[in-house]
């Protein structure tokens, strides 16, 4: 394989063992959102950044959908700043050209970490004691499409990567980050549903439930495609967490188009949403589109969807009262009037306070008896 083809993934294995902490800062602005978080866009290791000739990190807003993907692809730390669920970035770049997004111009075309390097990285993380690994990328479902076929009848695909991790590593739990709607094929859904070693958590970017808005966004699927994928995921995995990114206030979004989005969200079995308000980025087609939505209108639409998402999440959590769940313990512990507790995360992406003090990075079974302050209690 040509060395330059995988330059972006040089030093990924040592990077996996020495995850760089992501730096976040907030800055107040007087436009669409009250505040934004800036994220340095860089590879997991300094040597990796040098290999791609990036002299400095590029700052982007987390209000951008793909900037949010950058954040998801960053190393994962719990609030005590101890690594319990390391994030392995196996894909970078994007070949899509969504009209609102600057990230493909910054990150370049889709590039994949070779399969054997991914397997080796996961095994190293397991050797270091990790029980769960999150695999991520800017457009994760496109993993493998750029790799040399090596005698295969087709390029390797994302399903092949997941199967290889299951077959060639003893990892206890694999969590899959955000995957675009059209990459949720039947084989991926089946693999995820049938393996107890894959976390039951599907994040499927939606952006809008309006066909007209999706077309202006240059998204490659229609609302009925998206609905079909979500319904298939829910049928295959009845208790899975299903989340989405949604953007409101896109140029030209009418009340009727917003209502299409709201109604679709209401109908589908989402358990959480990341709601973003459109903010124009210089150099993107959307920045110069006519009929920009007034700030106050966009903010109100954001509020409506966040309230809807909150209600759906609460209903999802309440369904687990009286049930046993699988959790991974984090390093946050505390004491209250009810006694000691340890923060944990369920297999299907719900926060849980577990009675007693437990060491971090352990998979345990817990019986849920209540929902309190946005988390399960067990």
Q: How confident is the model at residue 14 (pLDDT cuts 50, 70, 90)?
A: very low
Over residues 213-230, the mean pLDDT reads 96
Overall average pLDDT of the 74-102 stretch: 72
- Tell me what the mean pLDDT of segment 31-54 comes to: 31
Domain end residue (candidates: 296, 319, 342): 319
102 and 145 belong to one structural domain: yes
- Does residue 152 share a domain with residue 48? yes
Q: Which helix (H) or strand (E) holds 306?
A: helix 295-318
Number of structural domains the chain divides into: 3
Segment 217-234 shows an average pLDDT of 96
Say whether both 156 and 270 belong to one domain.
no
Q: Are residues 25 and 125 in the same domain?
A: yes
Structural domain includes residue 188: no
Task: Please name the residues in contact with 256: beta carbons below 8 A apart, sequence gap of 6 or more.
Answer: none
**Based on the domain organization, do 169 and 206 belong to the same domain?**
no
Q: What pLDDT band is residue 332 in, cutting at 50, 70 and 90? A: confident
Residue 71 pLDDT > 60? no
Any domain includes 90: yes
Tokens linked to 313? 């999440």
Residue 8: which domain range? 1-178
Identify whether residues 152 and 61 lie together within a single domain.
yes
| Predicted confidence (pLDDT) at residue 142 exceeds the cutoff of 70 | yes
Residue 305 shares a structural domain with residue 344: no
Min mean pLDDT across 100-104, 196-200, 349-353 is at 100-104
Domain harbouring 205, CATH code: 3.30.750.200
pLDDT, average across residues 212-216: 97
| Domain at 45, CATH number | 3.30.750.210
**For residue 135, is it within any domain?**
yes
Q: Which residues contact 190 (CB under 8 A, 6 or more apart)?
A: 236
Looking at the structure, tell me whether residues 150 and 87 fall in a common domain.
yes
Quickly list H helices, 11-114. 12-17, 46-51, 65-72, 103-107
Residue 154 placed within a domain:
yes
Q: What is the mean pLDDT of residues 143-164?
A: 86
Say whether pLDDT at 155 is over 70: yes
Q: How large a percentage of the chain has pLDDT more than 90? A: 63
112 and 172 assigned to the same domain: yes
pLDDT given at position 75: 37
pLDDT at 7 over 70: no
In a domain, 270, yes or no: yes
- Please measure the distance between the N-terminal and C-terminal CA atoms of the chain and give it in whole angstroms: 51
Q: Residue 32, class by beta-carbon neighbours within 10 Å (0-12 exposed, 13-18 middle, 19+ buried)? A: buried
Whole-number pLDDT of residue 44: 29
Give the model's confidence band at 190: pLDDT under 50 very low, under 70 low, under 90 confident, else very high. Answer: very high
Q: Averaged over 159-164, what is the pLDDT?
A: 96
Whether 164 and 27 map to the same domain: the answer is: yes
More confident residue, 7 or 303: 303
The overall average pLDDT reported for the chain is 80
Q: State residue 311's pLDDT score.
A: 95
Question: Higher confidence at residue 193 or residue 103?
Answer: 193
Structural domain contains residue 190: no
Between CA 192 and CA 189 the distance in angstroms is 5
pLDDT band per the 50, 70, 90 thresholds, residue 283: confident
Task: State yes or no: pLDDT of 148 exceeds 90.
Answer: no
Query: Does residue 310 share a domain with residue 336?
Result: no
Sign (positive/negative) of CA torsion 320, 260, 228, 178?
Answer: negative
Is the residue at 69 inside a domain? Answer: yes
């Amino acid at each position: 394989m040509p060395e330059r083809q995988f330059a972006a993934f040089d030093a990924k294995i040592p990077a996996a063992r020495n995850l760089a902490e992501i730096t976040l800062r907030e800055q107040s602005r007087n436009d669409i959102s009250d505040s934004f978080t800036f994220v340095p866009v860089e590879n997991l290791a300094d040597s990796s950044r040098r290999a791609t000739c990036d002299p400095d990190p590029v700052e982007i807003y987390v209000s951008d959908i793909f900037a949010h993907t950058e954040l998801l692809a960053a190393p994962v730390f719990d609030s005590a700043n101890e690594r319990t669920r390391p994030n392995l970035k196996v894909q970078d770049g994007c070949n899509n050209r969504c009209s609102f997004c600057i990230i493909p111009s910054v990150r370049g075309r889709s590039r994949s970490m070779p399969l054997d390097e991914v397997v080796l990285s996961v095994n190293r993380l397991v050797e270091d004691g990790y029980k769960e690994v999150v695999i991520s990328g800017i457009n994760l479902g496109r993993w493998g499409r750029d790799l040399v076929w090596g005698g295969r009848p087709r390029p390797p695909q994302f399903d092949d990567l997941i199967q290889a991790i299951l077959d060639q590593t003893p990892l206890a739990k694999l969590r899959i980050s955000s995957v675009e709607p059209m990459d949720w094929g039947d084989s991926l859904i089946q693999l995820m549903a049938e393996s107890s070693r894959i976390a039951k958590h599907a994040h499927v970017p939606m952006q809008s439930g309006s066909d007209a808005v999706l077309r202006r966004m240059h998204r490659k699927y229609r609302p009925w495609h998206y609905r079909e994928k979500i319904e298939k995921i829910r049928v295959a995995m009845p208790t899975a967490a299903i989340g989405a990114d949604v953007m409101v206030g896109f140029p030209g979004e009418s009340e009727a188009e917003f209502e299409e989005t709201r109604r679709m969200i209401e109908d589908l079995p989402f358990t959480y949403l990341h709601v973003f308000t459109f903010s124009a980025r210089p150099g993107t087609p959307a920045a110069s589109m006519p009929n920009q939505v007034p700030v106050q209108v966009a903010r109100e639409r954001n509020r409506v969807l966040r309230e809807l998402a909150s209600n759906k999440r609460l209903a999802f959590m309440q369904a687990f009262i009286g049930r046993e769940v699988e959790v991974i313990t984090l390093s946050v512990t505390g004491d209250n009037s009810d006694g000691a507790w340890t923060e944990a995360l369920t297999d299907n992406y719900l926060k849980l306070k577990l009675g007693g003090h437990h060491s971090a990075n352990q998979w345990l079974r817990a019986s849920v008896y209540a929902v309190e302050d946005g988390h399960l209690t067990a």
